[in-house]
Amino acid sequence: MAGLRGRVTFGAALRAYTSFRIGGPADALVEPADVDDVRRLVVQARKANIPLFVVGGTNLLVRDGGIRGIVVSLAKLRAVHEEPESVLYAEGGVGMPTLIGYAIRRSLAGLEWAAGIPGTVGGCLVMNAGTRLGEMKDAVKAVRLVTTNGSIRDLPAASIPFQYRRARLPKGIVVGVWLQLREGLRADIARIVKDYLHYRKETQPLAMPSAGCVFKNPPEDSAGRLLEAAGVKGMRVGDAEVSTKHGNFIVNRGDATADDVIHLIQKVRRVIQQRAGVRLELELKIVGEA
Ligand code: EPU
């Protein structure tokens, strides 16, 4: 960790860094102070052969044994600035809600689809986050990456293959994203965001710890609809529960473990396979040791 200016916490409980409020310890949790610090960390970790894992923390289930090696949080990389022609540059750790607020103040349209997504810009980019109104790939102009040898590489969006809930990026850490927005009317943008937030609050359990949607939507269908039709809403293992509000959310009622969540996922998948003949694919990323 020599020369790092950011914060290092040994044995950090990752439940504090995930929206699910679940997860064992990281050997070390590092919060780099800036992009140069990220570069330093990457170079040194590589030399010492220590694996790095970046947590955004929202679409993630960390197992109860935690994560070996270094877990990186980009929480301190949260600068945003405006560039000509309606472009915003946001560092990887900027929260989507913050970015949407910034866009509204500058009367820039193009991020309304993301209203209610709690994750960071970097996290949303890596998984091509989306809702029924749009997805990350529609707004991205370019991406700044710290590569595995510690250099900076800027990738135009056109060179990145985006898939459903996934962006295929070269190995590295996303430290910034350029978003191509467009001028709009502030009141209109703010109203769409407000309406969409309202819709999400009505239909999703946003007040309870969760990791967002657990499964990808099967082609032409909704996992939430399938799960509701199969009658699994309210199903529980320990303190993990299939939300009674939206079938594609699992909520933590207090002390759920990763093990509880994984068992619940298995149960739910079996029911859907039997009742609907569909194998649900995980959207949630499961990492760490049991
Ligand atoms: N539905 C039910 N029961 C449920 C949930 C949904 O019948 O328990 C029905 C709804 O009535 C509606 C349809 O299923 O007719 C679709 O539901 P919804 O509008 O809630 O959208 P979704 O397809 O279930 C997607 C995203 C969400 C995003 C919402 C809102 C995926 C897997 N899910 O859900 O994303 O918030 O649209 O735009 O793409 C996430 O990715 O973490 C996530 C929550």
Which of these, 162, 178, 156, lies nearest to 99 by C-alpha position?
178
Burial of 138 (0-12, 13-18, 19+ CB in 10 A): middle
For residue 82 and ligand 1, the question of a CB distance below 6 A is answered with no
Q: What is the Å distance from ligand 1's center to 222 Cα? A: 6
Q: Establish how many alpha carbons lie within 13 A of residue 41's alpha carbon, considering only the half-sphere containing its beta carbon.
A: 29
pLDDT at 129: 95
What pLDDT does residue 57 have? 85
- Cα-to-centroid distance, 273 and ligand 1 (Å): 19
- Nearest Cα to 14, choosing from 44, 45, 55? 55
Q: Torsions phi, psi of 34, nearest 5?
A: -160, -175
Query: Beta strands 80-83 and 87-91: pairing type?
Result: antiparallel
pLDDT at residue 1 in the model: 79
Q: What residue spans of 106-156 are helical by DSSP H?
A: 121-126
Q: Whose CA is nearest to atom 19 of ligand 1?
A: 132
- Residues 102-118 as b/e (b if ≥16 CB within 10 A, e otherwise) read bbbebbbbbbbbbbbbb
The reported pLDDT for the residue numbered 163 is 96
Walking along the chain (290 residues) 10 residues at a time, the average pLDDT comes out as 92 97 98 97 96 94 98 97 98 98 98 95 96 95 97 98 96 98 98 96 96 95 96 98 98 98 98 96 96
